[in-house]
Chains A and B, each alone.
Chain A
């Protein structure tokens, strides 16, 4: 009798131990939309969850990457339309509640996309529990967003942006931030001019066009500031007001460069028409 009691006791302790250990080792994530609204351009775990729920319903066909892009936008609109909601393409609390209700079998399966930082931020935001449970938006965006360029910005793809960042870093590291933006702006001005090749690589690798290409400094890895400078230029900031050329007066004796009408001087560079 006492022996049987020990067996039951051991069994009881084992069950208790397993019920503590298993959730610790393999925690079961819960539905984790935060209170923040989502819209085109949003990033983070919330978007990751939104995409996977929409995919479960058959509305979304893209990657689960935590980036609210066009594919997510169309999926949200279609969902809103089919569920009799106002079609806005933006995800407010009503849309989230409707989505959670429509996907009762959805379970978090980890971030499957390339935006790893998006999934790393979800642990604290998901602690709020169910949809709308968390009132904080402090973990809304990925921490490593500066690591890489978007796939495409204003008609330029990631490889163009990367190449521009290499030139900016090779030509203007040590200059002010505005000075770095100015170099990126010159590349864009050339791209829009009929005097230069029609592609970013064509402009950059035109023999003699950039000294950093000639001396190999274009192959240095650009820092975050150079990348940000490229993004600012692509977004429209042109401190040079249309300059096509620039030169360092301390290092250049090129008669053509000196003959060009000066637009502005930024740091060590004179920018010309």
Chain B
């Protein structure tokens, strides 16, 4: 009897021991999971606090810029607005992206930032009527969401479940998440107000392409097959953006285990892109010869005159970038890429989509010469090369400009200045 009881007791003890161990393990796992969730929620709360503080301070700087008449102080306030918008955007980016998938608040902050940067760039003063009007609008608009965000912020420490994952939807819910959603929806009603919208890239393309004759899918396949040097039997072409002037055929085909992917415009039958995914295993072909070949190949495709503006090697392919010339002046912003396989010198990549997406229209006459613009550069910048170029300004209009290539502190930069008013269009740090 005692022997039997001992066995039963041992069994019970074993079950209890295993159960306790499993229970403790499960409890530990839950504790760890909860800790991760709390850590994530703490991060969200931190980001939200930063966001609210940044937009509140941004609004304060808007008010200061409206109050001052001193040009130097005005620029300082504009600079602070820009800085705070950037910081607020960064804070917003650290919150769950499913809360504000439409990103209206992000867009609003970005546009305010762009607007004040444009004012600084063009040396606007606090007395300018259009500036005052815009500042008034921005101040009124920001007041609405700053107030609402502040209300959510004040409740953050008092309520649980500010950020939680919805059981069914899998989306972030909770009073803070829901509140931010409401704010984002509200901002959508005035997100487009601060800035004039830049023209769509296809606006010029529409005018250029709609006059040209349309091609069929078979013609598109033939033109791609010709580039690949094969018949194109069994290849397929699918039309995208049908009915629009920018419609194009996506052509796909296989040649000896190589996949060819290309795009041909329906209007005019222009080859827009061409890619051959053949693996290139060695570099037997001369790079400089490849550069010459790329230029010749472009000419054979109907592109010319062009100027080579960049070159590099990657994965046994020579990658060249060309700029089309308009009246002998290179156009920056319409890059044409040609990739040459360095095992046999054949073209394995080509992209001229931007040439048709952003065609150059009428370019205004330059008011400043390259020599005059050169005087506006920093004395720390040693100019080694200068040339006339055509670039797109912040509103994506083509303007005449001068590109200065040179060095500062042994680093190479390219500074592009507008030949209209001398304003800086962009500065690129080159390697």
A contact set with B: CB distance below 8 Å:
36-43, 61-62, 69-71, 74, 77, 90, 137-138, 140-143, 145-146, 149-153, 155, 176-178, 194-198, 202-203, 205-209, 224, 227-228, 231-232, 235-239, 241, 254, 256, 263-264
A236 engages B337 (CB within 8 Å): yes
Which residues does chain A contribute within 8 Å of B284, judged by CB atoms?
Answer: 137-138, 140
**Pick from B97, B114, B170: contact of A206, CB under 8 Å:** B97
**Pick from A43, A197, A227, A238: contact of B89, CB under 8 Å:** A197
> Would you give 19 A-B contacts (Cβ < 8 Å), ordered by A?
A38-B288, A39-B311, A41-B312, A41-B318, A42-B288, A140-B284, A141-B316, A152-B431, A155-B429, A194-B111, A198-B90, A207-B44, A207-B96, A227-B315, A231-B314, A232-B349, A236-B354, A254-B170, A264-B240
Report if B94 contacts A (CB, 8 A): yes
Which single residue of chain A is at the shortest CB-CB distance from B309? A40
Given known pairs A206-B97, A207-B95, A232-B275, the reply for A155 and B86 (CB within 8 Å) is no
A194 engages B106 (CB within 8 Å): yes
B90 engages A197 (CB within 8 Å): yes
Which residues does chain A contribute within 8 Å of B261, judged by CB atoms?
Answer: 178, 239
B contact set with A: CB distance below 8 Å:
40, 44, 86, 89-90, 92-98, 101-103, 106-107, 110-111, 114, 170-172, 240, 250, 259, 261, 273, 275, 277, 282-289, 291, 310-316, 318-321, 335, 337, 339, 342, 349, 351, 353-354, 384-385, 407, 410, 412, 428-431
Which single residue of chain A is at the shortest CB-CB distance from B277? A177
Which residues does chain B contribute within 8 Å of A71, judged by CB atoms?
Answer: 410, 412
A195 engages B89 (CB within 8 Å): no
Which residues does chain B contribute within 8 Å of A194, judged by CB atoms?
Answer: 106-107, 110-111, 114
A177 engages B428 (CB within 8 Å): no
Which residues does chain B contribute within 8 Å of A153, judged by CB atoms?
Answer: 312
Which residues does chain A contribute within 8 Å of B430, judged by CB atoms?
Answer: 70, 152
Which residues does chain A contribute within 8 Å of B354, judged by CB atoms?
Answer: 236
Given known pairs A41-B318, A74-B407, A264-B240, the reply for A143 and B103 (CB within 8 Å) is no
Which residues does chain A contribute within 8 Å of B314, judged by CB atoms?
Answer: 145-146, 149-150, 228, 231
Which residues does chain A contribute within 8 Å of B102, judged by CB atoms?
Answer: 195
Given known pairs A39-B311, A231-B315, the reply for A141 and B283 (CB within 8 Å) is yes
**Pick from A69, A202, A224, A236: contact of B93, CB under 8 Å:** A202
A74 engages B412 (CB within 8 Å): yes
Which residues does chain B contribute within 8 Å of A150, judged by CB atoms?
Answer: 312, 314, 431
How many whole Å from A198's CB to the nearest CB in chain B? Answer: 7
B288 engages A145 (CB within 8 Å): no
B351 engages A236 (CB within 8 Å): yes
How many whole Å from B414's CB to the nearest CB in chain A? Answer: 9
How many whole Å from A96's CB to the nearest CB in chain B? Answer: 12
A145 engages B106 (CB within 8 Å): no
A237 engages B94 (CB within 8 Å): no
**Pick from B94, B285, B353, B410: contact of A137, CB under 8 Å:** B285
In angstroms, Cα B412 to Cα A150, docked, is 16
A141 engages B287 (CB within 8 Å): yes
Interface centre among A70, A146, A207 (most CB of B within 10 A): A207
How many whole Å from A176's CB to the nearest CB in chain B? Answer: 7
How many whole Å from B297's CB to the nearest CB in chain A? Answer: 16
In angstroms, Cα B120 to Cα A209, docked, is 34
Given known pairs A39-B291, A41-B311, A153-B312, the reply for A141 and B342 (CB within 8 Å) is yes
B316 engages A208 (CB within 8 Å): no
In angstroms, Cα B319 to Cα A145, docked, is 13
How many whole Å from A36's CB to the nearest CB in chain B? Answer: 5
In angstroms, Cα B94 to Cα A208, docked, is 10
B96 engages A237 (CB within 8 Å): no
**Pick from B96, B170, B313: contact of A41, CB under 8 Å:** B313
How many whole Å from B255's CB to the nearest CB in chain A? Answer: 15
A70 engages B90 (CB within 8 Å): no
Which residues does chain B contribute within 8 Å of A145, judged by CB atoms?
Answer: 283, 313-316
In angstroms, Cα B412 to Cα A197, docked, is 27
The 5 A-B pairs at the shortest CB distance, nearest first, are namely A41-B311, A141-B283, A197-B93, A194-B110, A195-B103
Given known pairs A198-B89, A209-B97, the reply for A42 and B287 (CB within 8 Å) is yes
**Pick from B259, B282, B288, B319: contact of A90, CB under 8 Å:** B288
Which single residue of chain A is at the shortest CB-CB distance from B318? A41
Interface centre among B107, B313, B314, B349 (most CB of A within 10 A): B314
A40 engages B337 (CB within 8 Å): no
Which single residue of chain A is at the shortest CB-CB distance from B86? A198
Which residues does chain A contribute within 8 Å of B111, judged by CB atoms?
Answer: 194
How many whole Å from B196's CB to the nearest CB in chain A? Answer: 14
**Pick from B315, B353, B384, B431: contact of A151, CB under 8 Å:** B431
Which residues does chain B contribute within 8 Å of A239, judged by CB atoms?
Answer: 261
Which residues does chain B contribute within 8 Å of A155, judged by CB atoms?
Answer: 428-429
Which residues does chain A contribute within 8 Å of B311, judged by CB atoms?
Answer: 39-41
How many whole Å from A145's CB to the nearest CB in chain B? Answer: 6
Which residues does chain B contribute within 8 Å of A149, judged by CB atoms?
Answer: 314
B273 engages A39 (CB within 8 Å): no
